[in-house]
Amino acid sequence: MKVLLLLAYLTAFSLFCAAQAPLPEKNLSIFGRGMYPGDDSTYALLQDAGFNTVLLSSFYIHGDGDLYSGDDNKHPVIHDGKWVGDTAYLRRVAALKKTARIEILLEGRWYNQPPNTFDFIRDWVDATKQVPGVVTGTGNNSTLFKICQVLKEVVGADAFCIDDESVYDTHSVIEMGKIAARLKMHMTLCPFRVNDFWKTVVKDTDPKIVDAIYLQCYDGGTRANPGTWKAATGAVQPVYPIFMCRGAFSTCESSHNSKTVTEIKDEMIRFKAGYPEMSGASIWQMADVKSFVINNCAVTNPASGSATTVKEFLAQIKESLSTGL
């Protein structure tokens, strides 16, 4: 009996690891900064809100080969090819995965910041390089492959999302796409401007693997437009605008092009007019949703919105992102 139960478990686990969650037909997504390790109530709120893709963010590769959550820069979540992070986090993500596609946002440095993530990915894809504590290349024993494998098999991620804003090395990102293919994962892109890097990645990767593009329409991407971006890159993948909600940068005022739910609705109408096939949109990020409520923005700045609870604000944001879809 024990042998049969073990075989059943291994079979179920194998099927779980092999599954690739496709893009939802109407993809309403949210970035989850501020959710590691999180708490049960936050995850329950997010699950009830009905977003069908959750991009867990942000995660950084360090020079020692470890992966860290941006919510905890003192303790790695992956070390030596194994999950060493919080186990309650895994349980919470598993609950989300029942109703949502799960992506992991790999974030790089901004300008003038110390090297991380994409600096190391660029250097480590070359198997001829020797780096202390790191297995270079993209083989099954490589540091990069094992990081992605843990994200797939332990965290349950369906995709990892590339947010490179400084290194822009096409070869290494294309190689990451090949790792995703071997693991039966997807890879998505998170640009904020059109440049030769993103155009090359789009052109030279399999659209069955790189299956979505999340376009930052705030801060450096304030003037970004999904229809224009799609045409300029020749992307066959859907392009989803990402909006920043009020509450970002701990202010109820507009900051870095953060928008009210009404302003998001207006932008969705404008974007849809120029890009009729647009089929989704996203919000950055759960931490800002909480900040809006914590700062009591509905009272201190009524022009910023009316929500007084996280549940209410999530519902309003989801409605805004759905406009015209």
User: Could you read off the pLDDT of 62-92 as tens digits, one per residue?
Assistant: 999 999 999 999 999 999 999 999 999 999 9
Measured in degrees and rounded to the nearest 5, phi and psi for residue 35 equal -120, 15
Determine the pLDDT at residue 9: 36
According to DSSP, the residues that pair with 297 across neighbouring strands are none
* Residue-range domain boundaries for the chain: 27-321
Which residues does the chain have with pLDDT short of 50? 1-18
How far is Cα 103 from Cα 157, in angstroms, rounded to an integer?
Answer: 5
Torsion of CA 288, 294, 300, 305, to 10 degrees: 50
Determine the pLDDT at residue 1: 40
Kindly report the pTM of this predicted structure.
0.93
Determine the pLDDT at residue 106: 98
Determine the pLDDT at residue 15: 40
Q: What length does the chain have? A: 325
How far is Cα 282 from Cα 302, in angstroms, rounded to an integer?
Answer: 23
Closest CA relative to residue 46, chosen from 285, 320, 316, 314: 314
Measured from the Cβ of residue 77, the count of other Cβ atoms closer than 10 Å reads 24
- Name the CATH superfamily, with its identifier, for domain 27-321: Glycosidases (3.20.20.80)
Determine the pLDDT at residue 46: 95
Cβ atoms of residues 214 and 187 within 8 Å? no
